[in-house]
Amino acid sequence: MSRLSSPTAVRHNRRAHYVHVESTTVRDTSISFRALGLLTYLLDQREGWQVRSDQLSKGEGREGRGAVRTALRELAAKGYYRLERRRLRSGKCVMGTAVSEYPVEQWIKDHEIFSTASDPAVPVVEQEDCTFLVEYPDGTLGSDGFAPDPYYAEEPPATPEPEPEEEPAAEEEPPPPPKKPARRPRRTAAQKATGDAEKDAAAKQKAEDETALDAAAQEVAKWWWDDAEKHLGKFVGKTNGYVAMRGMVRNALAAGYTQQQCAKALRRARRHLPSAQQWQDALIFVTKNFAPTRTNGAVPYSDSATWGDQGEASHDTPDGHAHDDSDNATFGVVARTQGV
């Protein structure tokens, strides 16, 4: 895990202040020389530098934007690079990227779960100790794949307290013998039977509630999957997309949202599998009747500008307004600490 000096700053996790590429990375035959060269260039950038495909393609000897985007996608699939949608403790959301000197297995798994042509970003949430955890579609949190920072891992040495001067022990009266605790009266057979019946009834009611919640979530999820396929086309993401979407609906129903509100929120999000932030914004819109606002001062981020047009249809919102994004994100670097 890594901490930030500012909300959009680079997340460093490297051994030194020079470009350091491990031999295993240089000899990784699963990535192209183009991707390896781009990775080395990203690792050499200063804090706060922004990853922009149009900027990377400028200059003598540089390749075009299409080649740069292809290399970025290749690095993301192999665990060297990823886009992050960071939710800070203040509640603000910013976009950033992370770069690793070595392939991170957790990034590869997260890429398979989250990355789609329309939304390749991985949602991460800032913790109280300023580290980040990945937020999965079912609401659980997991490791972000960063190695522990040795600076924060080491506890500062404790200041030794001065030993008190010894004083002659005063004669004390022996303490009174401890009182035996009062014995709890035994339950009668009738009381025990009543208690067991109440436990069984509570367990049965809980099971019925869980079954009803599963059935309600399944009903909404099946309706949306058919409706989305009819209006948005077939889902081309990962095979667990339907299960993840159904889990998001179930969590919303358990939190007190109705089936109708969940159905309206799914249509509002206009995604087969909305991200956690898109799902929350859509639920807020349909229940509070106001549109989510952008973070003050934040520059909107454009997936299509960095990753390229994937040939998708325009994702206009139901009110007829298209999403307004731009190509702008800061990035961070992750590297293995000594001995890891």
253 in any annotated domain = yes
283 in any annotated domain = yes
18 in any annotated domain = no
- Residue 233 structural domain: 208-293
288 in any annotated domain = yes
Work out how many domains the chain is built from and give that number.
1
pLDDT bin (cut points 50, 70, 90) of residue 11 is low
Higher pLDDT, 11 or 32: 32
- Average pLDDT score over residue span 158-173: 61
Higher pLDDT, 58 or 214: 214
From 48, 87, 30, 41, select the one nearest 68 (Cα to Cα): 41
What are the pLDDT digits (tens) for 60-93?
777 888 888 888 889 889 888 888 888 998 889 9
Higher pLDDT, 66 or 46: 66
CB 244 within 8 A of CB 137: yes
Higher pLDDT, 263 or 145: 263
127 in any annotated domain = no
228 in any annotated domain = yes
pLDDT, residue 257, reads: 93
CB 83 within 8 A of CB 76: yes
Q: Tell me if the pTM is above 0.85.
A: no
**How many helices (H) does the chain have, and how many strands (E)?**
11, 6
